[in-house]
Chains A and B, each alone.
Chain A
Amino acid sequence: AMEDVSAKFVSQKISRTRWRPLPAAALQAPDLFATGSWDNEDNRISIWSAGDLGNAGLNGEYHGEPHLLCDIQHNGDVMDMQFLDQERIVVASSTGTVTIFRHHQNNHTLSASHRWEKAHYHVNQDTSCGGAACTGVVCNNPEIVTVGEDGRINLFRADQKDAVRTIDNADSSTLHAVTFLRTTEILTVNSIGQLKIWDLRQQRNEPSQIFSLAGDRVPLHCVDRHPNQQHIVATGGQDGMLSIWDIRQGTMPVSLLNAHEAEMWEVHFHPSDPDHLFTCSEDGSLWHWDTSTNVSEKPSFLHQGGRSTAYLSHSTINQSVVSAWLSNDPTKDRMEITNLIPNQTLSVNSLDVLGPCLVYGTDAEAIYVNRQLFA
């Protein structure tokens, strides 16, 4: 419900929001998150406290808006951002630079601890060399993979000065996002509707597999992998379409689901409850996709602003254990989808989910925290 959401206007357009990861086996809810801004003369990385957790109200609701703990200037737009561990954040810049910032938790300050200048760059016709936007970053401590508008893939190690590996011209179009498939394999999406798997152990500079959208090559902007079933991958495209892929079979998506009306900027499976998926878009909406409801037990209804779901499946293969995401029998398994922001007009650029908590940021210069997602 909307009442559980606290908002704060922060006087900068937010391009990324990320929860600080919780230590293993921690039971408490996440309390700190980081944001990055874009399109400002002076862009910033900021660390926020999610609000006063000690002050649970009478009905158990939380009060207090997020408050700023510390921030630091960042050169260029923040294009992407990932926590490397509990203290370090890796930030991708529109200048092509990749920076590791350290959050000193005892005195709440931020400092740049390492920087790869122009990790992404263009070589112009006059052979001068200019930075190219780094569009995506993913971490698996100590490894860091970045992709960019230059179609380049970089593999860094947090403790090494130079790139461990660089694949120049890995893609002839812009790479928009990257994620780990397994420890040695990564997934990338690009601006001509392709999903590619790269095996970093192999020395050849070519993807081990290419998947692609049929028909118009609609650009893909974001990608996430199912946390438990690694063959299930979700991507979001320029037309707002959510595609679910089964990378064990075929070269096309298993299903295409339509809810957003413009670019889908981020897609995230819930890390511990992957029946739930969250997407946000340029059209100002944030959809919660829920496959946990069984239609036979409970009549499916659509919440405010909800629209019917569309299934366009391309293959029907019998599987003994079918994940709800791969099932394509709309009568049996129904997806319940809810728009968590009914009246927003400007883009929701980023979201992150952890435990019962959701954080998202917008071009309307506001950050929102919902701490009772499943209430």
Chain B
Amino acid sequence: TPLMDTVPPQVVPGADPSARQLCFAWGPAEVLVCETLFDRAGGSRSRCLSWSPSPSRLWGEGRAGTAARALTGSVAGTGEGAPSFSRVFVVRRDQDIYIQTLRKLFNESHGIFMGLQRSEEELAGRSRKAQLVQVSKNYRSVIRACMEDMHQAAVSTRDPALQGQYSTQVSILSAMELIWNLCEILFVEAAAAGPLLLRLLDWVRLHVCDVDSMVQEVLSSESPSKHKLFWNVVDVFVLQGRMDEARHLLSKEASANPISMNMYKILDDLMKKMPVPNHGNTQTLTELELKWQHWHEECQRYLQDGTFASNPHMESICKILLGDEDAILEKKELMTTWYHFLVTRLLYSHPTVKPLELRFYAQSSMDLFLGGESSPEPLDMILMAAFEFEMHQVIKECSIVLSNWWFVAHLTDLLDHCKLLQSHNLYFGSNMREFLLLEYASGLFSHHSLWQLGVDYFDHCPEYGRVYLELHIERIPLSTEQKALKVLRICEQRQMHEQVRSICKIMAMKALRNNRLGSALSWSIRAKDAAFATLISDRFLKDYCERGCFSDLDLIDNLGPSMLLSDRLTFLGKYREFHRLYGEKRFPEAARLLLTLMTAHIAPCSFWMTLLTDALPLLEQKEVIFSAEQTYELMRCLEDLTAGNPDKQKFQDDDVETTKVEMLRLALARNLARVIVKEGTVEGS
């Protein structure tokens, strides 16, 4: 049976829906797909795939998890059909979960997620916001660290296929960070007019790295101003608003050109004087706009009087400073993306842009930049949705495009903590945050190793988290006792009694199958499972009857208070105590205990014969041990056993049993005679 472990989400290779009907069986994190006997016209009877409740546990521990489940499915699907129908496909809903390098992302972000859930909601406005921004930055730094690892892996591998895979992952992670960062600026921090532009500039500088190598090449050359890409680098700095760096480079060129010194000086001065919003609150937006207007007019003047006419490079820079769209667009290659163009445009023509005005500039920047040559890609649509403050659209698009739930689940949770998503309820399930967290955590649970992380995510889904956890936890294969203990701890902490019982029962069953009665008993004691404790006690007693000695004395002698869990266990403990007393030759105590076991109905009736036989050697001791009264009681027990139940007739036919009963009667009669004499003598004297 061919198994497709990971397949693209839309197409199941090998399955041909045009030729045959497909049928599906939905598991919690995977879908089984198989071809049915239905022909297109319909009519024939279908065979069903069934998703067994916890197959990996029932079918042993060989290959835990998915493979075992898939095999189970395939067995279910092929039972009666032709061999050609025996293909079963496993389709997973979260592909990225299985990428080794991303496990770092899942684990480290789990810690951040937990920190966020614990964080103080009561913190006042500004410090709460600072806290949330910090959380957002932490998430991003994990993405970046992962990206670096992935990049390293890509560089160090020799396998071209693997290299391609890693590179794809790097670009996906990079896109994720880009989107997250923009959401951080617009939604989490909700930067206001002024600082907003500064943040967007940082965003562009951080993410447009295609030009970095060029900048590096020019700066590290012997004489940068002679380099053929010199002006390109100056332009890059200007386009990104890195004025100091641009001026530094220009000053080198100026010193090499004494004739045009004045021109450089003027441009340098303009660049130096350019008003920028500052982080502090020292100037109002009106003040800034006023200064800006003034500076703008000055630039305009210099451009119009032809100050830079002799140098096309400087003239174009001056035009950029004036926010001339055509001049900026000429540098398309240096910006590489429409959102860089947007930010440059804002910097030089609308530095005090308000958040809600962004959408207009964003749309027109994209249109201008792409110029009808190419259509926007998914990433463009996501960023556009962010600029339009359509948070739900961002999340929706990301859910469709990305091959993981990690991104949307964590981003949505963060936005929810920012109290930005409350009004939005889905028409199915609970709210969007919970829906996405459930999806993500279900993916984790389908992984053979990452399931532990999923638990905490379910814990923070108030509506369905518990139910999901209950369903998923039962599917964790319990390969060792240690693993079972870990799963058990999770269930106990959450008062999941049903699951606790089931885990202990499974472990007790396993131990029993392996003839580990002691282990089996301690598992049923842990689950307080009286019925199972009874079953195991019976096994102990059966073993004793067969072998004539107890196994696992270290356990039975140390039952302690757990002895009270079941009547049979109590009997087992007490019966063993009788043997100990007998062994220590404490006959009167042993005799008393033996009798009590029957008269107080602690011993099961089926065991009375054994107990009475055990009384034989005591009856035969030199000194009299059973008193007259005790002897009468023993006799009554024997009569109850032999006469009380008509079913026992058969057993009376048994020769050995008959002999035993007769021997007992004889011993009892003799003991009675001896005790009457003894008691009479003692009382008479």
Contact = CB atoms under 8 A, between A and B. Distances in A.
Interface stretch (A28-36, A101-109, A314-322, A343-351): A343-351
A132 B514 contact: yes
B422 interface: no
A135 interface: yes
Contacts of B107: 9, 364-366
Contacts of A174: 481, 516, 519, 522
Given A125-B515, A216-B561, 16 more contacts: A9-B104, A9-B108, A12-B103, A40-B449, A123-B514, A123-B515, A135-B481, A149-B516, A171-B518, A173-B522, A192-B522, A194-B558, A217-B522, A217-B525, A343-B111, A345-B111
B104 A365 contact: yes
Nearest to B146: A9
Interface stretch (B28-36, B383-391, B482-490, B601-609): B482-490
A212 interface: yes
A310 B106 CA distance: 38
A297 interface: no
Interface string A330-352: 00000000000001111100000
B100 A11 contact: yes
Interface string A157-197: 00000000000010111100000000000000001101000
Interface in A219-245: 219, 238
A172 B517 contact: yes
A62 B65 CA distance: 42
B516 A172 contact: yes
Nearest to B456: A345
Interface stretch (B70-78, B126-134, B547-555, B610-618): B547-555
A192 B480 contact: no
Contacts of B517: 172
A282 interface: yes
B483 A11 contact: no
B596 interface: no
A124 interface: yes
B623 to A, nearest CB: 33
A2 to B, nearest CB: 14
B558 A192 contact: yes
A60 to B, nearest CB: 26
A266 interface: no
A365 B447 CA distance: 14
B518 A192 contact: yes
Interface in B438-460: 448-449, 452-453, 456
Contacts of B456: 345
A199 interface: no
Nearest to B142: A9
Given A9-B107, A215-B560, A217-B560, A122 B480 contact: no
A173 B519 contact: yes
Contacts of B111: 343-345, 364
A210 interface: yes
A221 B481 CA distance: 12
B551 A172 contact: yes
B562 interface: yes
Contacts of A122: 514-516
A17 interface: no
Give the interface residue-count category, chain B: 35 or more
Interface string B77-103: 000000000000000000000001101
A132 B448 CA distance: 20
A3 interface: no
B489 A262 contact: yes
A210 B558 CA distance: 11
Interface string A1-38: 00000000101110000000000000000000000001
A172 B554 contact: yes
A122 B482 CA distance: 17
A11 B102 CA distance: 8
A172 B518 contact: yes
- Max count, chain A CB within 10 A of own CB: residue among B104, B515, B554: B554
- Max count, chain A CB within 10 A of own CB: residue among B110, B452, B483: B452
B114 interface: yes
Interface in B187-226: none
B115 interface: yes
A274 B514 CA distance: 41
B650 interface: no
A151 interface: yes
B67 to A, nearest CB: 9
Contacts of A219: 522
Interface in B111-132: 111, 114-115
A46 interface: no
Given A11-B103, A345-B111, A133 B558 contact: no
A47 interface: no
A94 interface: yes
A212 B63 CA distance: 38
Contacts of A344: 111
Interface residues of A, number: 49
Contact of B480 (A77, A169, A194, A217): A77
B448 A41 contact: yes
B513 A217 contact: no
- Max count, chain A CB within 10 A of own CB: residue among B65, B456, B483, B514: B514
A259 interface: no
B479 interface: yes
A363 interface: yes
A281 B481 CA distance: 16
Contacts of A212: 558
A79 interface: yes
A364 B516 contact: no
A263 interface: yes
Contacts of B518: 151, 171-173, 192
A132 B452 CA distance: 24
7 contacts: A151-B519, A172-B554, A173-B518, A174-B519, A194-B554, A217-B560, A282-B489
- Max count, chain B CB within 10 A of own CB: residue among A132, A216, A346: A346
Nearest to B485: A263
Contacts of B101: 11
Interface in A22-68: 38-41
Nearest to A149: B481
Given A217-B562, A364-B110, A150 B480 contact: no
Given A79-B480, A343-B111, A151 B516 contact: yes
A341 to B, nearest CB: 11
B175 to A, nearest CB: 22
Contacts of B103: 9, 11-12, 365
A42 to B, nearest CB: 9
A150 B555 CA distance: 14
Nearest to B114: A345
- Max count, chain B CB within 10 A of own CB: residue among A39, A40, A94: A39
A169 B110 CA distance: 43
A79 B554 contact: no
B552 to A, nearest CB: 3
Top 8 A-B pairs, shortest CB-CB distance: A172-B518, A172-B552, A122-B514, A11-B103, A9-B104, A173-B518, A172-B555, A133-B480
B489 A363 contact: no
Contacts of B100: 11
Contacts of A364: 107, 110-111, 453
A146 B396 CA distance: 55
Contacts of B514: 122-124, 130, 132, 150
Nearest to A366: B107
- Max count, chain A CB within 10 A of own CB: residue among B456, B483, B519: B519
B486 A191 contact: no
- Max count, chain A CB within 10 A of own CB: residue among B479, B486, B561: B486
B486 A282 contact: yes
A309 to B, nearest CB: 24
B522 A124 contact: no
A80 B526 CA distance: 25
A322 B37 CA distance: 81
Contact of B561 (A77, A215, A347, A366): A215
Nearest to A346: B452
